[in-house]
Amino acid sequence: MSFNAGPSTTELSVEIPDAVLAEAGEMPPGVGPYKLAWRRLRRNRVSLAFGGLFLLIVVLCLLAPVYSHDIAHTGPADENITGTVRVGGKTETIVNPATDIPIGPTWQSHYFFGADENGRDVAVRLLYGGRNSLEIGTVATVITMLIATLLGLIAGYFRGFVDGLISRSLDVVWAYPALLLGIALGTILAFGGIGPLKGDTLMVPAVVIGVVYIPYVAKPIRGQVLQLREREFVEAARQQGLSHVQIMLREILPNLASTIIVFIPLILANAILLEAGLSYLGAGVQPPNPSWGTMISAGIAQIPAAFSNVLVPGIMLVLTVLSINVFGDGLRDALDPRAKVRIAR
C-alpha cells in the first residue's frame, strides 16, 4: 500500500463503473431501467459465467434420479457395507471390514466419488443432497421475500402504531444470532413438527431458515417505503382516490422491485449456507435424507481417513454459494450501482 505522492494516489476520486462509462455514449434516449440493467449485466462476463455455473449445478442436481437410476445403479440411502466393486479389473471392498475405511473415488460409474461409512455412493448422495439444499434454499427465499416485503410495505406505509409493532417484533427476531435461532427452531421442529409440517421433512428447515432472515430484508424495505411514500407520485395516487392497498401494490411495490431482485440471490446464498450449517449440527435435514452439511459432518468424523468425503460435498457447497454470490453481485451492480443491499446486523 503506497500512500506517497505519485500517480497511484490520484485514484482517490469518483468511481464510475466501466459499464456506465461505456454505455454513456452509445445509449439511445428512453431506455427502460431493466433493459439498461440487462445491458450492463451482459457486459459483466465474470458474473454471467458464475450464473452459468449455478445453472449447471441446478441442472446436475435435478438430474440426480437419472444419475442414480441409470449410471450409479444405487439410491441415495442404499447401504452396502459388505459389498464389493470392480475397479480397474480388481475387486475391492466398498468398506474395508478391518478398518471401516470406505473406498475413495473410483472415477467410474459405480462409486465415482467413493463411498461413505455406510457404503453409500457419495456421488449419488451429493446430487440428491444438492437437490435438497436447492429446494430448501428456494422455499426459504420465497418465504423470506414474501413475508419481509409484506411486513416492510405495511410498516413503512402506515407508520405509527403498526410500524412500531412490526419493527419491534423484527428487532426481537433480529437480536437472535441467525445460526442459534435456526438451531433452536430446527431442533424443536425436527422433533415434533408444527401444525401440518411433519418433523423430518425438508419443509421444516426451509420454514426455519425463511423465518430467520425476515428481519434482514424487512428492515431495509421498510426504510425504502418510508421514503417512497413521501414522493409526488404517491401523493398523486392519493389525490386520485386510490385505496391504500392499490397504492401499496401498484405505486410503491414496483419501485421496490430492484431491491427485491437484488436481495433474492443474497438470501438464497445465505439460506443454502445456513441449511448446511444446521444440517452439519443435526438441526437441519434429518438422516437418511442426504444433505451436504450432514455429508461433511460424517466426513469430519472420519478424519484423517477418507478425506474426500469432506472435500467433495464441501467444494460443491462453496462452488454453489460462490456462484450465487458472484452472480448476485453483478446483478446488483447492473440494477443499481449505488445500491447498498446487504445482509447486515
Partner 1 sequence: MARFAIRRLFSMLAVCVAISILTFLLFAAIPNGNPATRLAGRLANAEEIHLIDLKYGFNKPLYIQYVKTMKNIFSGQAYSYSQGFNVLTEIKDGMPATLSLALGAGIIWLLTSIAVGTLAAIKAGRYTDRILTVLSMIGVSMPPFFLGAVLIYYLAYKAGIFPIGNFVPFSHSPWGWFTHLLMPWFTLSVLFIGFYSRILRSTILDTINEDYVRTARAKGLTERQVLFRHILRNSLIPIISLWGLDLASVIGGGAILTETVFNLHGVGQLAENAIQALDIITLMAIVMLAAFFVVLLSAVVDIFYAFLDPRIRLS
Residue of 7, 11, 160, 232 interacting with partner 1 (CB under 8 A): 11
Q: Rank residues 17 and 105 by Cβ distance to partner 1 and give the closer one.
A: 17
Answer yes or no whether residue 188 interacts with partner 1 by CB under 8 A: yes
Answer yes or no whether residue 75 interacts with partner 1 by CB under 8 A: no
Residues 203 to 242: which contact partner 1 by CB under 8 A? none
Residue of 36, 184, 242, 253 interacting with partner 1 (CB under 8 A): 184
Rama region for 173: left / alpha / beta (φ>0; ψ in -120 to 50; rest): alpha
Answer yes or no whether residue 70 interacts with partner 1 by CB under 8 A: no
Cell numbers given for 104: 475413495
Residue of 77, 138, 150, 307 interacting with partner 1 (CB under 8 A): 307
Residue of 64, 127, 185, 234 interacting with partner 1 (CB under 8 A): 185
Question: Residue 95: which of 83, 86, 105 has the closest Cα?
Answer: 83
Answer yes or no whether residue 317 interacts with partner 1 by CB under 8 A: yes
Identity at 267, one-letter amino acid code: I
The burial class, CB within 10 Å (0-12 / 13-18 / 19+), for 129 is buried
Answer yes or no whether residue 4 interacts with partner 1 by CB under 8 A: yes
CA–CA distance, 279 with 313 (Å, rounded to integer): 13
Question: Residue 47: which of 337, 338, 329 has the closest Cα?
Answer: 329
- Specify the stretch interacting with partner 1 by CB under 8 A; choose among 110-118, 135-143, 184-192, 239-247: 184-192
Answer yes or no whether residue 84 interacts with partner 1 by CB under 8 A: no
Number of residues located near partner 1, criterion CB under 8 A: 63
CA–CA distance, 43 with 63 (Å, rounded to integer): 31
Residue of 34, 171, 236, 243 interacting with partner 1 (CB under 8 A): 171
CA–CA distance, 110 with 314 (Å, rounded to integer): 21
The shares of helix, strand and coil residues in the chain, as percent rounded to the nearest 5, are: 65, 5, 30
Question: Residue 207: which of 185, 192, 188, 191 has the closest Cα?
Answer: 185
Residue of 36, 63, 81, 281 interacting with partner 1 (CB under 8 A): 281
CA–CA distance, 172 with 325 (Å, rounded to integer): 28
Answer yes or no whether residue 49 interacts with partner 1 by CB under 8 A: no
Answer yes or no whether residue 280 interacts with partner 1 by CB under 8 A: yes
Q: From the CB of 228, what's the least distance to partner 1, in Å?
A: 20
CA–CA distance, 267 with 342 (Å, rounded to integer): 9
Instruction: Tell me the CB-side half-sphere exposure of residue 300, using CA atoms within 13 A.
Output: 10
Give the interface with partner 1 as residue ranges (CB under 8 A): 1, 3-5, 8-9, 11-15, 17-18, 168, 171-172, 175-181, 183-185, 187-189, 191-194, 269, 273, 276-277, 280-283, 293, 296-297, 299-300, 303-304, 307, 310-311, 314, 317-318, 321-322, 325-326, 329, 340, 342, 344-345
